[in-house]
Structure 1
């Protein structure tokens, strides 16, 4: 990535961020920072996604980056494009801990619906596997195994007891896959049957590790074949990828497919280290939901942040075709083609970290980009020029870290000189942060102390 010069920074501070209200489908973006890009799917930095749909609503459970949180992230949507963030009451680092727990945070959920009608979550907390249950993906979630891990951290010394993924076969038998290596080497995959409670193993686990396996197993059945997909490489670098192997039983053995890997880094398109995925079907078509490294990469401060993307997938018998990862994302039949947008506006700001994080990034309808003020900016603000005095109803903000409270306030002006504070500065949390402020104004200023802004939508 290029360094910001004075000229480039001035240009960045004056670029117009036009948010189109047109329903016409724009051309597919070819760059990661193109306006209107639909990948990343979620606004913010998340990894290890699990996706389910229940009663017309989508749910994506995911690790909160960087490297987990004391809670899990949950995104919900009724149209697959406009997502709302929350954190389930369970699991938490405090609630899911045992004498064999490690320091690791809450990672890598897998959510499935069992034959008994209840939902079950298998999640990594403290480098061991915990299981919870709920009547709905929306919760309330609670521990389902008497306050003990299903797979304790010392189950197989020398390996990482994480990344559990449940699979329910056509006959109703449920299986659990899990396992990783240490220090980015020597990954092992284990599988065991689950009993009817879905919270206990039914029989001894088996090592079913295929070639080039490191972590993140996900089972897919196609005809009479069982396709074990998984990640290999290092997610902090550019080597992470999705591979797969084929077997005749969920318990293995599995033989790696000749066209593996199916999803990998495309440096020419700035798609770095895609992996730890979930495969789901909708409208008789399979899709792959996965995380990939946020951009610019590598980050200047060495903090690896990942974002969730979705692309189309093709499965033919016991073969999965290579995936073409995109910035445009995938179309799901009957779901919204694009995110809801607001009024167009011209962006300026009190400062910008560099040319890659200018104020126009907060109005480009692209969740890969964000406005970030300079660290020495004591009172950062983002300004929107609507072009003329207009009636506005309110606005919403997609912050960099929706799980953390940020101080946000809004002021308006008709001439750019005299300002009226219409939203008081108070801690606000979530995504989107919705603010109702009915006023007539040409200019709006968003004061966002110690927070980057992925998107600011004005209605």
Structure 2
């Protein structure tokens, strides 16, 4: 009887502790900030998390970018209109999928504009620069960085990647084709590859758009979106290789809609820390009660790996992630 009594006391104490812990855990909630935003790129600068999304609206109204910052993934500060087409003379509409990187003391923001359909139209992928991650950003070269279709890739959905050897690459492409190109030191153009080419196609099976790359344990994880961005089949898949050039063989999907949570989950980014093994996927999705293609919201959930380094399927939540302060 004494053993049973003490076991009951111990269970009660543990339950009470767990209950107290649960009460004090604060979660981000999903979406993480108000408004219709899509194609979010999450990144860390200093002791803050930053998210740079597309303003989700009809193309003619997509003429600026807002950014959001947080010290803990819970409280987000909006930085309105960090880039406006008023500062980019060739961009008129449909500025999409910002991707940002810091080089020395400057911040370079890559973006797509005008949704060009052929080589005769004006637009493509541009780059803007600022001295602060909150901008204001101004056009860096006065013209698009990529203004033509190479290897069938529409010049949209750009991602800038810094390799472990210090080289910078632009990875981009819509219309089911993806290219990689090495940026020059000034981010004003490109350097030829070893074989003399400038734009190398690295398209994996079922690729549609929205490329993203990160490294973990010296492996290159290449991720992309599949399906149609307005439909329920929008999703994220990935591959792993030993080089940013691939070859990339599709492993499988890790993010897709959940009929109990949201539809059209895709066009994502990853914030990760190998030391702490904390990994987050930042993505957009459409609420179950919305049918308008532009009604997309930015969300964040944890991302996990198995013992073999494969990404486990992401569980979408309404709670989001717990508070996580950054340390310098």
Calculate the TM-score normalised by the size of structure 1: 0.58
Matched, 1:306 2:296: yes
Unpaired runs of at least 5, structure 2: 1-19, 116-123, 193-197
Unpaired runs of at least 5, structure 1: 1-22, 29-35, 182-186, 336-459
Aligned residue for 2:85, secondary structure, equals coil
Q: Give the match for residue 47 of structure 2.
A: 56
Task: Indicate the larger mover: 168-177 or 155-164.
Answer: 155-164
Cα deviation 1:307-359 (Å, max 9, x = unaligned):
01101112355521211111111124337xxxxxxxxxxxxxxxxxxxxxxxx
Distance in 2, matches of 1:223 and 1:231, equals: 23
Which has the greater radius of gyration? 1
* Structure 1 segment 51-450 matched on structure 2, within 5 A: 51-67=42-58, 69-90=62-83, 92-98=84-90, 104-114=93-103, 116-127=104-115, 128-145=124-141, 147-152=142-147, 154-156=148-150, 159-181=153-175, 187-203=176-192, 204-257=198-251, 260-267=252-259, 269-282=260-273, 283-297=276-290, 299=291, 302-315=292-305, 318-334=309-325
Describe the shift of the 1:284–1:117 C-alpha distance in structure 2 as closer, same or farther (beyond 3 A): farther
Distance in 2, matches of 1:61 and 1:334, equals: 19
Distance in 2, matches of 1:37 and 1:296, equals: 21
Q: What number of residue pairs does the alignment pair up?
A: 288
Distance in 1, matches of 2:293 and 2:254, equals: 27
Task: Give the superposition deviation at 1:288.
Answer: 0.4
Aligned residue for 1:262, secondary structure, equals strand
Describe the shift of the 1:73–1:295 C-alpha distance in structure 2 as closer, same or farther (beyond 3 A): farther
Calculate the TM-score normalised by the size of structure 2: 0.80
Which structure features the higher share of helix residues?
2
Give the alignment's Cα RMSD to 1 decimal. 2.4
Distance in 1, matches of 2:200 and 2:87, equals: 29
Cα deviation 1:250-296 (Å, max 9, x = unaligned):
12221111xx10001111x1321111111012544111000001341
Describe the shift of the 1:247–1:67 C-alpha distance in structure 2 as closer, same or farther (beyond 3 A): farther
